[in-house]
Amino acid sequence: MKYDIPVTKTKHSRLSEVDFDNIPFGRVFSDHMFMADYIDGEWTNLKIIPFDRFAIHPASMVLHYGQAIFEGMKASKSFEGQALFLRPEKHAQRLNVSARRMCMPEIPEELFLEALHQLIAIDQAWIPPQEGSALYIRPYVFGNDEFIGVKPAEKYKFIIFTGPVGPYYPKPVSLIAEDKYVRAVKGGTGEAKAAGNYAGSLLPARIANQKGYDQVMWMDGKEFKYIQEVGTMNIFFVIDGKVITPATDGAILKGITRDSILTILRDKGYQVEERPISIDEVVAAHDAGKLEEVFGTGTAAVVAHVSKIAYKDRVMELPPMEDRKVGAMAKAEIDGLRSGTIKDTHNWIVPVGEYAQVDA
């Protein structure tokens, strides 16, 4: 233990109010949160406290200039009742990739992990045991100077809060290939998990919803030709037995679930390609009857099957769910690792509590 993180426990746990069989995604929050401040060049005021609102100044810079980054991760329970993380250090590292791009101070990996383990150890009773459910964990950092003027903040807040969640997409998603709006371009902030990337996606997503589709499939901003990702997920295509996902090129989020699924597919002997994939290639594969599956991957969604894709004036319907072997296998593998029913051959699973010094 390198960091001293004082804990104040809640006197009024809300746990008994939660219906774990009916958890809406993102609306239920656990009892405690971690907070830290970055002041005078160091992370200080580390604490775990009861989950609650907190005050910031009306001039807090994040509210004007959007210097904010976040992670999304999950803790699950094994079938033996052990609380587990999947690749937590990858999230600590990616938060720092985002921090560098957004000109923010990094969080020492050990601080991130100690705070995470302690917080989840305290609230591990909030991890839902139901299949497909988990404790969603939201670490985030934002610039908090009380100032008007565009510059990197000097003060920041780093917070982790959690909440039990059910599936993000309870059913397969329909997509529109977006040929007007852009999520990210090379050299932009697309590879960072920056709050503004999500704000910019809202209008196109709303337009897609108004047309009866669930999500936008993003294309490159130069030619509107190469597929990048979908909604809040990375995307995979199964074409004629091969699994293809867009190569990360600086404009695409380097998904941790994406990386895990690529590894699982390669382990299982699938032919996997990370390369640019154009919408024309997808249309041609569909027309030739070779577009076997499309699925999105992300922490929240895990694996979300795609039911259909609209592009310009045509709609490509995808094969029925019972034929989606690759996506179903990928999801079963991730779920199996999280529940301890599949052997962890990559040392991805980390039991909660490694750094915890508190009683759960």
Return the closest-CA partner of residue 116 out of 95, 143, 147, 144: 95
Please name the residue ranges forming H helices in 67-194: 88-101, 109-122
**What distance in Å separates the CA atoms of residue 67 and residue 76, rounded to the nearest whole number?**
30
Residues 6+ apart with CB under 8 A from 178: 204, 208, 216, 217, 218, 219, 224
Residue 298 found at the interface with ligand COI (CB under 6 A): yes
| Number of neighbours of residue 181 by Cβ within 10 angstroms | 17
Q: Which is nearer to ligand COI, 220 or 229 (CB)?
A: 229
Q: Which is nearer to ligand COI, 176 or 300 (CB)?
A: 300
Closest residue to ligand COI using C-beta atoms: 72
In this chain, which stretch among 32-40, 284-292, 293-301, 311-319 interacts with ligand COI, using CB under 6 A? Answer: 293-301
Contact status, residue 154 vs residue 145, Cβ threshold 8 Å: yes
Residue 238 found at the interface with ligand COI (CB under 6 A): no
In this chain, which stretch among 124-132, 210-218, 237-245, 292-300 interacts with ligand COI, using CB under 6 A? Answer: 292-300
Q: Which is nearer to ligand COI, 232 or 307 (CB)?
A: 232
Residue 201 found at the interface with ligand COI (CB under 6 A): no
What type of residue is 112?
Answer: F
CA-CA distances (angstroms) from residue 296 to 20, 43, 49, 286, 305?
26, 36, 35, 18, 6
Contact status, residue 30 vs residue 13, Cβ threshold 8 Å: no
Q: Which is nearer to ligand COI, 162 or 232 (CB)?
A: 232
Q: Kindly state the smallest distance separating residue 45's Cβ from ligand COI, in Å.
A: 26
Residues 6+ apart with CB under 8 A from 301: 167, 168, 169, 232, 233
**What distance in Å separates the CA atoms of residue 82 and residue 80, rounded to the nearest whole number?**
6
Looking at 67, 96, 232, 248, which residue binds ligand COI (CB under 6 A)? 232
Q: Which is nearer to ligand COI, 300 or 326 (CB)?
A: 300
**What distance in Å separates the CA atoms of residue 113 and residue 85, rounded to the nearest whole number?**
11
Residue 299 found at the interface with ligand COI (CB under 6 A): yes
Looking at 68, 107, 175, 300, which residue binds ligand COI (CB under 6 A)? 300
Q: x/- binding map, residues 143-182, to ligand COI, per CB under 6 A?
A: ----------------------------------------
Q: Which is nearer to ligand COI, 72 or 246 (CB)?
A: 72
**Residue 320: is it exposed, middle or buried by C-beta count within 10 angstroms (0-12/13-18/19+)?**
exposed
Q: Kindly state the smallest distance separating residue 227's Cβ from ligand COI, in Å.
A: 18
Footprint (CB under 6 A) of ligand COI, residues 70-89:
72
Residues engaged in binding ligand COI (CB under 6 A): 72, 198, 232, 298-300
